[in-house]
Amino acid sequence: MVAGGEWASILHFATVGAATIGGYSEGGGMSEGSAESTSALLRPIRMGNSFEETVERLLQMIHLGVYAPGESLPPERELARRFGVSRDTVRDAIRSLGEAGYLVTLRGRYGGTFLAKTLPKAPQPEGGQLPDLDIDDLLTVRELLEVATVRVAARRALTATERDTLWTRLTDVQAADCENYRRLDSRLHLTIAELVGSPSVTAMVADNRMLVNQILDRMPLLERNIVNSNEQHHAIVLAILTGDKERAVQAMEEHLAGTVALIHGFLGASPSRRAPLLPDDDL
Amino acid sequence: MVAGGEWASILHFATVGAATIGGYSEGGGMSEGSAESTSALLRPIRMGNSFEETVERLLQMIHLGVYAPGESLPPERELARRFGVSRDTVRDAIRSLGEAGYLVTLRGRYGGTFLAKTLPKAPQPEGGQLPDLDIDDLLTVRELLEVATVRVAARRALTATERDTLWTRLTDVQAADCENYRRLDSRLHLTIAELVGSPSVTAMVADNRMLVNQILDRMPLLERNIVNSNEQHHAIVLAILTGDKERAVQAMEEHLAGTVALIHGFLGASPSRRAPLLPDDDL
DNA sequence: CTCCAATGGACGCCGAACCTACCATTGAAT
DNA sequence: ATTCAATGGTAGGTTCGGCGTCCATTGGAG
């Protein structure tokens, strides 16, 4: 009913011609016509099913230190509303995380879902490293986002509350033991991202950080690195508070370079897995 | 079966206590305990159903100039595989965009889906402005991403091919008429983003640009702005090609400031709608 | 002329997820 | 002691979307 005979005949030549000179080509060799950024634009639409994504988001809130151990999460109905998923899905996710030891649910009024007082340790993936992440891509995004974030934060005029919060987060992570370091570290970086004042930016930083943490969880947390990070955190926060944009950027760059060196050193010359595996069959 | 009696009794005090001092509070007033970045982390998991997202992604490839008019898209099976959705969904989306005049499909071998030679003009949303976007957030993300992008691009050592492509994109947009300006402009910016070498960054810039374009489509495209943009594009590309990081950043900031001024000027002191409207009912 | 491979087109089955409504539990307010 | 409101817990029906399979069309290869 659409694209009748006239259209077909009219377009016929144009199409074949275009397909020849610049159209889609399967072999990977791209004719110069246009289409070379297709790999990024043809990325998967869904990263997982609703259940998995909901679990991921709850874990995000837990691991990035948004809620403290023992603290209460919003009620299921509220979570479902905010996440835009059904309550069933939220419940499934909460039940899973409950079985994993992250959450505890209590019924009745003033009940709810609570973070466990002691969070389970991230299991060391001994044999199979499931996530299959593009490490270079992750670290590039991280560098780009965090540097840009600190740059904007440093040139903003912060409120007294923001300054207080920032400083509190800094002292929290300075005083953290190994057990809680990763979480409080993430919370500090998230707080800096929030200073930009854009929910989307906060979300992007949070997403990236979760993925980077998945990599960091595979390698040991050295005392020496913590001392280093603490100094760098201090420099970063100070630069933000004094509005020294250049210094803030430089401090953050040094901070990130440390992590990059750690990761590359630990992974050796591992060829940084790419290309997230597409199904190979043809239906 | 999980969280038996012992757990409940053990955690009982902790939970109520935590809920009182720092837990989730519905009224918007956040106790200082932690949780204030929740708004970003509690964002919707799904932006729309699979069909809508697929349409959006195809429109992205069309409007951002990834494919030229008359050019061929990948076959349905390939699109389905890359997008991670079923072929049915891709077909629905293609059919929709075909009815809207964007795409034309031809059957048989060497057939496929092709962009229309002349793309339909974006309809002016006269009465209802559907998207309901957070303009401040969009522009903040744009500023952050594009400046960071150009910063990284300028300090990279570009290959000859990259330089050629960049220059071609620049001359293309310089020579564009009003009809094609927005598309070629987007393609130039996307090309710059690609220089970072991270698919995720390209995707983020593409997503942001699509949203910003939705706003820009609501206001007239002035000849004066085009001339201005052309000069700024020239400065940006030149700075990238000469590896002048500082100048590239500055040029991009000026470029973006122009758009911000245009938007704010056109929208007047419109209070930049926020808070994407959540359903209000309680089940 | 015949064949064939690549593409779009169509159908049925099934699980995932959503929606609605209702039930169960609990502790504070009265 | 009773009530009640807020919360988690459960169940049935419905829609959406994915999967597998097959059909239809077409232009080039042999």
What pLDDT, in 10s, does the model give residues B174-201?
Answer: 999 988 999 999 999 999 999 999 999 9
Chain B touched by A51 (CB under 8 Å)? no
Q: Final residue of a domain: which of A115, A145, A166? A: A115
CA distance B246 to B147: 10
**A158 and A208 assigned to the same domain:** yes
In a domain, A219, yes or no: yes
Asked if the Cβ–Cβ distance from B15 to A114 is below 8 Å, we say yes
**A159 and A83 assigned to the same domain:** no
Two tokens at B224? 């004066």
The model carries a pTM of: 0.86
Q: CATH number of the domain at A258, please.
A: 1.20.120.530
Give the pLDDT confidence score for residue B269 in this predicted structure.
58
**Contact between the CB of B98 and strand C at under 7 Å:** no
B129 or B20, which is more confident: B129
| Neighbouring residues of A26: CB distance < 8 A, sequence distance ≥ 6 | B74, B78
Contact yes or no for A151/A249 (Cβ under 8 A): yes
**B200 and B256 assigned to the same domain:** yes
CA distance B14 to chain A (A): 6
Taking 60 as the threshold, does the pLDDT of residue B270 lie above it?
Answer: no
Give the pLDDT confidence score for residue B8 in this predicted structure.
32
Interface test with B, best of A60, A67, A168, A188 (most B CBs within 10 A): A67
Give the pLDDT confidence score for residue A267 in this predicted structure.
82
**B245 and B141 assigned to the same domain:** yes
Q: Final residue of a domain: which of B87, B115, B143? A: B115
Neighbours of B120 (CB within 10 A): 10
Q: CATH number of the domain at B93, please.
A: 1.10.10.10
In a domain, B182, yes or no: yes
In a domain, A235, yes or no: yes
Q: Considering only A263-267, B65-69, B204-208, which range has the smallest mean pLDDT?
A: A263-267
B94 or A4, which is more confident: B94
Two tokens at B122? 């974006």
Give the pLDDT confidence score for residue B123 in this predicted structure.
65
Assign B124 a pLDDT band (cuts: 50, 70, 90).
Answer: low
CA distance A179 to A120: 10
Give the pLDDT confidence score for residue A125 in this predicted structure.
57
- Give Dmax over CA atoms of chain B in angstroms: 74
Assign B121 a pLDDT band (cuts: 50, 70, 90).
Answer: confident
In a domain, B106, yes or no: yes
**A166 and A260 assigned to the same domain:** yes
CA distance A231 to A107: 45
The pLDDT tens digits for A258-269 are 999 999 988 875
Nearest residue: Cα versus C1' of C21:
B283
Q: How many residues does chain B have?
A: 283
Taking 80 as the threshold, does the pLDDT of residue B90 lie above it?
Answer: yes
Average the pLDDT over B135-154 and give the result: 97
**A157 and A102 assigned to the same domain:** no
- Which residues partner with A72 through β-bridges? A114
Percent of chain B at pLDDT exceeding 70: 78
In a domain, B150, yes or no: yes
Taking 90 as the threshold, does the pLDDT of residue B164 lie above it?
Answer: yes
In a domain, A250, yes or no: yes
Assign B274 a pLDDT band (cuts: 50, 70, 90).
Answer: very low
Contact yes or no for A197/A245 (Cβ under 8 A): no
Q: For residue A164, what are the domain limits? A: 135-267
Q: What is the DSSP string of A36-52?
A: -SHHHHTS-S-SS-HHH
In a domain, A139, yes or no: yes
**B259 and B191 assigned to the same domain:** yes
Pairing mode, strands A112-115 and A103-106? antiparallel
Assign B10 a pLDDT band (cuts: 50, 70, 90).
Answer: very low
In a domain, B282, yes or no: no
| Chain A, chain B: beta-carbon pairs less than 8 Å apart | 289
**B92 and B161 assigned to the same domain:** no
**A151 and A221 assigned to the same domain:** yes
**B100 and B197 assigned to the same domain:** no
**A219 and A100 assigned to the same domain:** no
**B177 and B238 assigned to the same domain:** yes
Taking 90 as the threshold, does the pLDDT of residue B85 lie above it?
Answer: yes
Binding-face residues of B in 56-85 toward A, CB within 8 A = 57, 60-61, 64-68, 70-75, 77-79, 81-85
Assign B239 a pLDDT band (cuts: 50, 70, 90).
Answer: very high
Q: What is the DSSP string of A250-275?
A: HHHHHHHHHHHHHHHHHHTT-----S
Phi/psi at A251 (5° precision): -60, -45
CA distance A234 to B201: 28
- Which residues partner with B104 through β-bridges? B114
Number of domains in chain B: 2
> Which residues in chain A show pLDDT less than 70?
1-37, 122-131, 269-283
Asked if the Cβ–Cβ distance from A23 to B278 is below 8 Å, we say no
